[in-house]
C-alpha cells in the first residue's frame, strides 16, 4: 500500500482518518466520490477549539474496501468503529450529501453518541423524476466507472462555467471524482441513489438537535427536502443559504462555518 498522506492514520487496515485538535469532538463526513481533504476549510476553522475528526468513507480516498457490499449499514458501522477506536463516546457530527445519510443513520442507531447533528446538503425522498435520474447515473457508473459522471457533477455543483475564483476548486473536485476507486465509488453511489428513502418515517426517533442546512440553488438537495426533514425531527430546524449550491462548504466556507458554529456552539459545554 502507498504511504499515507501527512497526518493520516489507518484503523484496522481499512479506515484512513485524521484527528486534529482538542476539545469537544467534531466529526465531518464527506460525500460520495470525495475524500477527507474536502474538509480543509472546516479543519482550519474549528481545530483551534475542537477535536476535529475527518475520515475517508469505505472505498474512498485512502480507505480500503470491505470484501462485500454492505450498503448504508456498512458506512454507519465504519463510523461506529472509528469512534470506538478513538475512544469517543459522544460527538457533534456533520455529514455532507451521502455523508448526511451516514450521519443520520448513525444518530438513529446510536442516539446517545450524537450531541448535535448537521445534515449538510442532504437528500430526502426524491421526486420520482429525480430518483429515476440518479438511479440511471448509478447504473452508468456501475457500467463504465466514475469518469462518466464527473463532468456532469461539476456542472451541477459549480455551474456549467464556474466563476473564475471557483475554477481551481472545481478542478480539484473533478480530480477526486475522476480518480476515485471505481468499485468504491459505484458501491457508494448505489447507496446514495437509493438511500434518500432510508430514513423516511424514522426521523421522529432522533433525540438530539438537528440542523438541515442546504443552499437555495441546490436543486437535488433542495430547501424543500431540508424543511420536510426538519418538520419530521422533534428538535429539527432548516436553514437555506442564498445563492449556494451543493459544494457550499468548500465554495463558501466562511458562510457555512458561521452557520455550523452558531448551531454546534449553542450546545457546547
Which residues are the active-site residues?
97, 121, 246
User: Comparing C-alpha atoms, which of 95, 93, 101 is closest to residue 74?
Assistant: 101
Q: Is 1 exposed, middle or buried (0-12, 13-18, 19+ CB in 10 A)?
A: exposed
Cβ atoms of 214 and 226 within 8 Å: the answer is: yes
User: What percent helix, strand, coil does the chain show, rounded to 5?
Assistant: 50, 15, 35
Residues forming a β-bridge with 54: 18, 28
Cβ atoms of 120 and 245 within 8 Å: the answer is: no
- Whole-angstrom Cα distance, residue 183 to residue 168? 27
DSSP state of 101: H
- Whole-angstrom Cα distance, residue 95 to residue 30? 6
DSSP state of 4: P
Question: Which residue has cell 482538542?
Answer: 22
- Hey, CA dihedral for 127, 190, 248, 20, is it positive or negative? positive
- Whole-angstrom Cα distance, residue 89 to residue 25? 9
Cβ atoms of 233 and 207 within 8 Å: the answer is: no
Amino acid at each position: 500500500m502507498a504511504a499515507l498522506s501527512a497526518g493520516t492514520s489507518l484503523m484496522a487496515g481499512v479506515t484512513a482518518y485524521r484527528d486534529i485538535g482538542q476539545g469537544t469532538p467534531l466529526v465531518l463526513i464527506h460525500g460520495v466520490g470525495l475524500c477527507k481533504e474536502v474538509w480543509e476549510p472546516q479543519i482550519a476553522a474549528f481545530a483551534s477549539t475542537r477535536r476535529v475528526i475527518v475520515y475517508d468513507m469505505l472505498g474512498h480516498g485512502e480507505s480500503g474496501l470491505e470484501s462485500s457490499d454492505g450498503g448504508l449499514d456498512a458506512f454507519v458501522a465504519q463510523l461506529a468503529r472509528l469512534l470506538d477506536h478513538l475512544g469517543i463516546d459522544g460527538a457533534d457530527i456533520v455529514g455532507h450529501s451521502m455523508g448526511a445519510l451516514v450521519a443520520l443513520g448513525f444518530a438513529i442507531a446510536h442516539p446517545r453518541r450524537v450531541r448535535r447533528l448537521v445534515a449538510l446538503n442532504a437528500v430526502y425522498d426524491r421526486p420520482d423524476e429525480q430518483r429515476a435520474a440518479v438511479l440511471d447515473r448509478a447504473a452508468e457508473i456501475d457500467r463504465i466507472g466514475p469518469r462518466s459522471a464527473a463532468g456532469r457533477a461539476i456542472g451541477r455543483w459549480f455551474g456549467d462555467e464556474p466563476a473564475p475564483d471557483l475554477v481551481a476548486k472545481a478542478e480539484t473536485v473533478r480530480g477526486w471524482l475522476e480518480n476515485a476507486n471505481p468499485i468504491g465509488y459505484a458501491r457508494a453511489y448505489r447507496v446514495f441513489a437509493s438511500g434518500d428513502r432510508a430514513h423516511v418515517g424514522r426521523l421522529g426517533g432522533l433525540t438530539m438537535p438537528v440542523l438541515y442546512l442546504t443552499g437555495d440553488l441546490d436543486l437535488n438537495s433542495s430547501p424543500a427536502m431540508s424543511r420536510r426533514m426538519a418538520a419530521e425531527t422533534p428538535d429539527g430546524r432548516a436553514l437555506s443559504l442564498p445563492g449556494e449550491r451543493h459544494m457550499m462548504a468548500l465554495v463558501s466556507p466562511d458562510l457555512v462555518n458561521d452557520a455550523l458554529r452558531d448551531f454546534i456552539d449553542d450546545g457546547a459545554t
